Amino acid sequence: MRDSTSKAMAGPRPVVFSGPSGAGKSTLLKKLIKEHENVFGFSVSHTTRNPRPGEENGRDYHYVTREAMQAAINNGEFIENAEFSGNLYGTSKAAVQAVQAKNLICILDIDMQGVKNIKKTDLNPMYISIQPPSMEVLEKRLRDRNTESEESLQKRLHAANVDMEFSKEPGMFDVVIVNDNLEDAYKNLKQALLEEINKVKKAKASS
Ligand SMILES: Nc1ncnc2c1ncn2[C@@H]1O[C@H](COP(=O)(O)OP(=O)(O)OP(=O)(O)O)[C@@H](O)[C@H]1O
Ligand SMILES: Nc1nc2c(ncn2[C@@H]2O[C@H](COP(=O)(O)O)[C@@H](O)[C@H]2O)c(=O)[nH]1
């Protein structure tokens, strides 16, 4: 069944970022939001994982217990949710509405199960896949980030293999960006979003 709740959401077309854990999604989207804070807004997901050093509740995620999150899911408060690496993650309707109410392009950072589920809704976002140059580079980045236990790292690498195959399915993503050199990847990302950025800037200038 299609989720018709998202139909009521207005504003510019959202953008979904997906790709393996460690590919550089957060790094790129943080740069994007910093450079265009009047254009983009981040959909703050819920998760049952613990905050990492430097992460802030309500800014990076809403950190909740599994019981609270499951109850909210059962109550129909989420557009999509998924189990990833032993934790629940999900996009609440409120998170997307909060961004769209400000007439900003809503950015969702979600895993591939999220992509599949969002495709069943009426949100109609642009889908961007961020890919690492190789599995070896991905593993090094994840290890160097120093945020995962060995068990979590192995789960993420396993999911990354599945994800990298999935991203090759024709029509799954509108744009695929290989994040090798960060500045090049960022330039490609901005180019892919240029039309949407200009639309929002124009609408804001005339309002
Ligand atoms: N082009 C790049 N070159 C080198 N290091 C990078 C590059 N892009 C990102 N990194 C680093 O790789 C690590 C993983 O990046 P990041 O946390 O942005 O990935 P992610 O896709 O958001 O991961 P997750 O899905 O787990 O949140 C970080 O330590 C980041 O600083
Ligand atoms: N389906 C969803 N996936 C999400 C959501 N928020 C984040 N994510 C994805 O989870 C993994 C791991 O994230 P991390 O912050 O623990 O490294 C990553 O692939 C994110 O894209 C969500 O709301 N729904």
Domain ranges, ordered by start, for the chain:
12-200
Residues 122-180: tens digit of each pLDDT:
999 999 999 999 999 999 999 999 999 999 999 999 999 999 998 889 999 999 999 99
152 lines ligand 1 (CB under 6 A): no
Q: Is residue 7 scored above 70 in pLDDT?
A: no
85 lines ligand 1 (CB under 6 A): no
- Of the residues 48, 111, 161, which should be mutated to test ligand 2's pocket, given the most ligand atoms within 8 Å of the CB? 111
Residues 36-58: tens digit of each pLDDT:
999 999 999 999 999 999 999 99
The three-point CA angle 74-85-107 to 5° equals 70
Residues 44-97: tens digit of each pLDDT:
999 999 999 999 999 999 999 999 999 999 999 999 999 999 999 999 999 999
The three-point CA angle 122-129-148 to 5° equals 110
199: left (phi over 0), alpha (psi -120 to 50) or beta: alpha
182 lines ligand 1 (CB under 6 A): yes
> Which of the ligands is closest to the CA of residue 26?
1
Instruction: Compute, in angstroms, the gap from residue 111 CA to the centroid of ligand 2.
Output: 5
> In the CATH scheme, what is the homologous superfamily, with its name and number, of domain 12-200?
P-loop containing nucleotide triphosphate hydrolases (3.40.50.300)
- For residue 162, count other CB atoms closer than 10 A to its CB: 11
In this prediction the ipTM stands at 0.98
